[in-house]
Amino acid sequence: MGGIDRLGAHSSGTITGFGSVIVNGVEWEVSGTTDITIDDAPGTESGLAVGQVVLITGELDNSGTSGTATSIEYDSVLEGNVTSINLAGDSFVVLGQTVSVSSSTVFDDSLPDRSGPGGTPDGRRTLADLLVGDNLEISGFPTSAGVIQATRIDDRGGASGAEVRGVVSALNTVAETFLIGTLNVDYSNATLEDFSSALANGNLVEVEGSLSGGTLVATRVELEDNLPGDDGDSGEVEGLVTRFVSATDFDVNGVRVTTVAGTQYEGGTAGNLGLNVKVEVEGEFNAQGILVADEVKFRVQEGSADVEIEGNVAARTSTTLTIEGMDAITISVNAATQLEDDRSSPQPGFNFSHVVVGDFVEIRGAPNTATGDPNDVIATRLERDDDEDDTILQGPVQSFAGPVVLVLGVAIATDAIDVAFFDVNDDEISSATFFSSIGVGSIIKAKADELRVFGNDFDAEEIEIE
């Protein structure tokens, strides 16, 4: 991402909320910010959204939890048409790049709603709503293997052209081609931007152009810098460890990081670092442009966030809440939790303080291993929505006996006469087949209308194996 003024603080990460722009737990004041760039064009705060990976430059206050942004830049990592979908593998392919999704991926409401029973709308957007040919814009983090872990997916509608961000390989300077992943790029007629030396293998680039016979014919190739910083500048970067030599020499989302004796760790230790581990690093740049970590925070891994909870808030504290019919589950929010108000009349600057008892919320998350309580959940995403009739609980089976399945401490009863059971293919099955097909650790999803949930009673009307 070029064109950033090199001021005292630089932060790269996912937007988790507004009321200011919240990235990596820092609330960035943007009311006076005139330098907002969205997909290489001038933009405004209204064009930013939860789940977008952005680069912010500005000045932090002494607390380190708020600051004033002088520039914000958002660039999608991928734009183009879907060529294949792997529902079982939670992934799809655009421009030869594999995109993985998880329960914390934000699917924008602009996307078609197709995945309800019989293909009818069900009010939710998931991978099952996508079709080959859909024209998408994707934000996310690459793994060490080049797979993109999507943080947000938007519908491009009829927008033309294609765009991909990645690392150059198999460069052929005679034919003027290179690969990004498995995608062949022809740059023979492209404008090269921000290169101080020749294009080379290993360069991180953004390529724009059009697809022709499986080749991206580039009109522009821009050299990227994930997190610029001068000696002594503060820096924050969120993402996956994409290169790992040791705990003192690794990359996070392409930014080189080192740790020192005084580095603090949250949610893990130096021994937990490794390829594709998701972290947030805070520190200062040295004279070599390396981010020297003051703190490394381990984040919930994509793919481990198997918990989905939807229902009305029964109680809340400043950092936790419980849901009607699921009193056994304590749901915690933190600085990394994505917060979005998707009601028909959303609250400006929505944050967790706006959530009240009775609100209908949709939670995506994972068991909170830090507390040692098997019924605690850490929310990776909280969305407030207009009230719905159904309450939903998805999570790992802790035990099961007869008609009852225990999930996160909630005893889900399945002995009502009208309960429907489904297998992993969404085919209806008998109760006996359902119970013979699950085991401890199986992921199941149960649904009940609001009349079937109270306190810690959950009487399912539908239950399925995920």
DSSP per position, 192-236: EES-SS---TT-EEEEEEEEETTEEEEEEEEE--SS---TT-EEE
pLDDT at 3 over 70: no
Average pLDDT over residues 2-8: 44
- Which residue among 74, 94, 126 closes a domain? 74
- pLDDT value at position 103? 77
Task: Verify that 256 and 376 share a domain, yes or no.
Answer: no
- Which residue among 74, 109, 129 closes a domain? 74
Distance CA 462, CA 449 (A): 10
pLDDT at 2 over 80: no
- pLDDT value at position 1? 40
- Are 389 and 449 in contact by the 8 Å Cβ rule? The answer is yes
**Does residue 228 fall inside a structural domain?**
no
**Does residue 4 fall inside a structural domain?**
no
Task: Verify that 385 and 338 share a domain, yes or no.
Answer: yes
Task: Verify that 138 and 48 share a domain, yes or no.
Answer: no
Residue percentage of the chain with pLDDT more than 90? 63
Task: Verify that 217 and 259 share a domain, yes or no.
Answer: no
Task: Verify that 59 and 16 share a domain, yes or no.
Answer: yes
Give the confidence band of 305 by pLDDT, cuts at 50, 70, 90: low
Give the confidence band of 118 by pLDDT, cuts at 50, 70, 90: low
* Bigger pLDDT: 48 vs 371: 48
Task: Verify that 149 and 185 share a domain, yes or no.
Answer: no
pLDDT at 207 over 80: yes
Task: Verify that 340 and 440 share a domain, yes or no.
Answer: yes
As separate numbers, helices (DSSP H) first and strands (DSSP E) second, the chain gives 1, 40
Q: How confident is the prediction for the chain on average, in pLDDT?
A: 89
**Does residue 2 fall inside a structural domain?**
no
Q: Residue 56 sits in a domain of what CATH number?
A: 2.40.50
Task: Verify that 169 and 211 share a domain, yes or no.
Answer: yes
- pLDDT value at position 81? 95
**Does residue 1 fall inside a structural domain?**
no
* Bigger pLDDT: 300 vs 354: 354
Closest CA to 253 of 13, 3, 2: 13
- Give the count of domains, the chain: 5
**Does residue 401 fall inside a structural domain?**
yes
- Which helix (H) or strand (E) element contains residue 376? strand 376-385
**Does residue 3 fall inside a structural domain?**
no
Task: Verify that 419 and 438 share a domain, yes or no.
Answer: yes
- pLDDT value at position 145? 86
pLDDT at 21 over 50: yes
Rg (the chain; Cα; Å): 23
**Does residue 258 fall inside a structural domain?**
yes
pLDDT (tens digit per residue) in 125-156:
889 899 999 999 999 998 888 899 999 999 99
Q: In terms of residue numbers, what domain contains 35?
A: 9-74
Q: Residue 184 sits in a domain of what CATH number?
A: 2.40.50.320
Task: Verify that 150 and 168 share a domain, yes or no.
Answer: no
**Does residue 229 fall inside a structural domain?**
no
Task: Verify that 293 and 356 share a domain, yes or no.
Answer: no
Task: Verify that 145 and 107 share a domain, yes or no.
Answer: yes
- pLDDT value at position 120? 65
- pLDDT value at position 6? 37
pLDDT (tens digit per residue) in 214-232:
899 999 999 987 777 888 8
- pLDDT value at position 373? 87
pTM of the model: 0.83
Give Cβ neighbours of residue 341 (< 8 Å, ≥ 6 apart). Answer: 347, 350, 354, 383, 384
- pLDDT value at position 304? 53
pLDDT at 209 over 50: yes
Question: 465 pairs with which residues across the strands?
Answer: 444
- Which residue among 265, 298, 331 closes a domain? 298
Closest CA to 339 of 314, 358, 359, 315: 359
